[in-house]
Amino acid sequence: MSIKTVSTQPFTDQKPGTSGLRKRVKVFQQPNYLENFVQSIFNSLEGYQGQTLVVGGDGRYYNRQAIQIILKMAAANGFGRVLVGQGGILSTPAASCVIRKNKAFGGIILSASHNPGGPDNDFGIKYNISNGGPAPEKVTEAIYSHSKEITSYQILAAEDVNLDKLGTSQLGSMQVEVIDSVTDYADLMASLFDFDLIRKFIADGKLRMCIDSMHAVTGPYAIAIFEERLGAPIGTVQNGTPLEDFGGGHPDPNLVYAHELVEILYGEGAPDFGAASDGDGDRNMILGRKFFVTPSDSLAILAANAKLVPGYGSALAGVARSMPTSQAVDKVAAKLGMDCYETPTGWKFFGNLLDAGKATLCGEESFGTGSNHVREKDGLWAVLFWLNILAVKQQSVESIVKEHWQTYGRNYYSRHDYEEVDAEKANTLMTNLRSLVPTLTGKQFGQYQVAYADDFSYTDPIDGSVSQKQGIRIGFSDGSRIVFRLSGTGTQGATLRIYLESYEPDVAKQNLDPQQALANLITLSDDIAQIRQMTGREKPTVIT
Ligand code: G16
């Protein structure tokens, strides 16, 4: 087996976004496109010779082909060992778990998360560092710099590796170990949650649930954990076989795309609990019977009840949320006397806080919750956290949430997305807003007075790195907020996100529909940003 050095030319569009490089499959299938990016990752690293790399993905179209290329390039570039999930499958949190458990140098995860899969849809690749978390900005910037200068890559001329058979084989001087995709992760979950209690709760018939894996990566994990280890009836996990095109669906666990689950939980004879995960298993949606838990509330409720869960029984070090996530968890942190950090959007910004022991739980409005057990957000972990709380409290999801609002007040919350907007128009809208920002403080808009307005900038408290222009915040004197930012994960045009939040301490006023409660703010957001005029859209594509 010989190492080939292949001449190549740079592509100009390999700048990683919020979470790695996401493009159409067809873009990745261009000659040298994937190879250039993988070589740029390796070129940006130091000291990996002879070390271990973890590789796996969410099973979407092009996963297997990409893995074969990566294995041969890792061998040619001098890695000592690669651990790859069986069939090329590793959920994002499981990959993080495997990197940490094996003290690997890093990992490459293949996923475009919740974006649809298939030959005409999306693919993605991201690099995770040795703590198991997404590469921080200084690493992704270095990868991007290398991608602009690359002239050649190295690849081993070799047969494909059999990804379906567990065990070890040799690829040049590198060892390839095909590992069980589920066991390490499921063991970690069993070490954090009271599986005996949850199993009994299910066996006693006190909890009927439905878990929707949306034909994406969590199927095998969910079946192993909920049906096999916790004894839930077979069939509890639906859409549990990972498919290359996710069965034609959009594996995004929200009320719009997880409609199959929503219909069950809002239908006749609905079960007590429902949950869905996304393409790569790091997102979650939690439902009670005829009841939706917003991700921001979910984070706050997990934090408030963490003492009930074995893995988190002693005090939490602190909590962290991304800037656009509602301030519900801030209230919990204040009451429990712990620190609460506000970071830019992107799980990578939690890594330093978790490593430094400053935060134990983290979460984002984008259906992501997690803790210091790995360095990625973790969908099934969030489901198990909820099950553990339900089993201890023996209450319904709805009553737990409503009790929480009584204690802490309710943060009404909604995100309005305008997808695939013309990029130039979206950028102009943001530029206009930026120029308005310095003039807004103190201004009155109907019932709302602007208390502050800025373009969010974050200084990492651990390494001092600064991330600017992370979204425009307009805060009002009654605690309401509007945030505007452009998504960093879309693959077509631009996605404009508007995050709306208001605070309601009065229990008598906590039962409104969020769109109704936020109606005035929604109108105001359009007045300030001229969304309809600038985008040419009458309404958002997705409301969550
Ligand atoms: C990724 C990031 C998250 C982020 C989300 C949305 O999630 O890991 O931190 O909140 O994208 O980002 P944006 O608003 O820029 O589109 P995932 O699940 O897509 O990997």
Tokens of 386: 């909820």
Q: In the annotation, is 399 catalytic?
A: no
Q: Residue 403: CB partners within 8 Å, gap ≥ 6? A: 395
Q: What is the CA(148)–ligand 1 centre distance, in A?
A: 24
What is the widest separation between alpha-carbon atoms in the chain? 73
Mutate to test the pocket of ligand 1, among 345, 415, 498 (most ligand atoms within 8 A of CB): 345
Per DSSP bridges, beta strands 273-277 and 481-486 are: unpaired
pTM of the predicted model as reported, rounded to 2 decimal places? 0.94
* Model pLDDT for residues 31-60, shown as the tens digit of each residue: 999 999 999 999 999 999 999 999 999 999
Mutate to test the pocket of ligand 1, among 254, 283, 489 (most ligand atoms within 8 A of CB): 489
Atom of ligand 1 minimally distant from the CA of 488:
15
pLDDT given at position 175: 98
What Cα–Cα distance (Å) separates residue 336 from each residue in 16, 155, 308, 331, 407? Answer: 37, 54, 14, 9, 12
pLDDT given at position 43: 97
CA 371 to chain centre: 12
| CATH class of segment(s) 2-181 | alpha beta
Portion of the chain with pLDDT greater than 70, in percent: 100
Task: Count the residues in the chain.
Answer: 544
pLDDT given at position 476: 96
Q: What is the CA(289)–ligand 1 centre distance, in A?
A: 27
d(CA 140, CA 346): 13
Q: How confident is the model at residue 184 (pLDDT cuts 50, 70, 90)?
A: very high
Q: Residue 343: CB partners within 8 Å, gap ≥ 6? A: 320, 321, 322, 323, 349, 350, 353, 458
Cβ atoms of residues 379 and 278 within 8 Å: yes
Tokens of 113: 């998360």
Atom of ligand 1 minimally distant from the CA of 114:
19
With a 6 Å cutoff on the Cβ, whether 19 touches ligand 1 is: yes
- Cα pseudo-dihedral 56, 62, 65, 69, rounded to 10: -70
pLDDT given at position 315: 78
Q: Is the pLDDT of residue 491 over 90?
A: no
**From 40, 113, 213, 525, the catalytic residue:** 113
Q: What is the CA(112)–ligand 1 centre distance, in A?
A: 10
**How far apart are the two ends of the chain, measured CA to CA in Å?**
52
| DSSP symbol at 17 | B
Q: What is the mean pLDDT of the chain?
A: 96
Q: Is the pLDDT of residue 482 over 90?
A: yes
Q: Which residues of 458-488 are buried (b: 16+ CB within 10 A; e: fewer)?
A: bebeeeeeebeebbbbbbbeeebbbbbbbbb
- The yes/no answer on whether domain 410-543 falls in CATH 3.40.50.12780 is no
Q: Is the pLDDT of residue 1 over 80?
A: no
**What is 312-376 written as a DSSP string?**
G-SPP-EEEEETTS-THHHHHHHHHT-EEEEE-SSGGGGHHHHHTTS-SEEEETTTEEEETTSSS
d(CA 18, CA 324): 14
pLDDT given at position 150: 98
Task: Give nearest CA residue, ligand 1 atom 3.
Answer: 346
521: three-class secondary structure by DSSP: helix
Q: How confident is the model at residue 212 (pLDDT cuts 50, 70, 90)?
A: very high
In this prediction, residues 152-170 reach a mean pLDDT of 97
pLDDT given at position 534: 87
In the chain, CATH 3.40.120.10 sits at: 2-181, 185-405
Tokens of 54: 């973890």
Mutate to test the pocket of ligand 1, among 364, 418, 470, 497 (most ligand atoms within 8 A of CB): 364
Handedness of CA 525, 542, 92, 370 (dihedral sign): positive
With a 6 Å cutoff on the Cβ, whether 497 touches ligand 1 is: yes
Task: Give nearest CA residue, ligand 1 atom 9.
Answer: 346
With a 6 Å cutoff on the Cβ, whether 415 touches ligand 1 is: no
Atom of ligand 1 minimally distant from the CA of 115:
19
In this prediction, residues 424-442 reach a mean pLDDT of 94
With a 6 Å cutoff on the Cβ, whether 114 touches ligand 1 is: yes
> In the CATH hierarchy, which fold is given to the domain comprising 185-405?
Alpha-D-Glucose-1,6-Bisphosphate; Chain A, domain 3 (3.40.120)
Portion of the chain with pLDDT greater than 90, in percent: 94
Element (H, E) at 265: helix 259-265
In this prediction, residues 156-174 reach a mean pLDDT of 96
Cβ atoms of residues 336 and 124 within 8 Å: no
d(CA 130, CA 219): 26
Q: How confident is the model at residue 299 (pLDDT cuts 50, 70, 90)?
A: very high
Tokens of 479: 């605690």
Cβ atoms of residues 216 and 58 within 8 Å: yes
Q: What are phi and psi of 255, to 5 degrees?
A: -65, -25
In the chain, CATH 3.30.310.50 sits at: 410-543
Q: Is the pLDDT of residue 9 over 90?
A: yes
In this prediction, residues 105-124 reach a mean pLDDT of 96
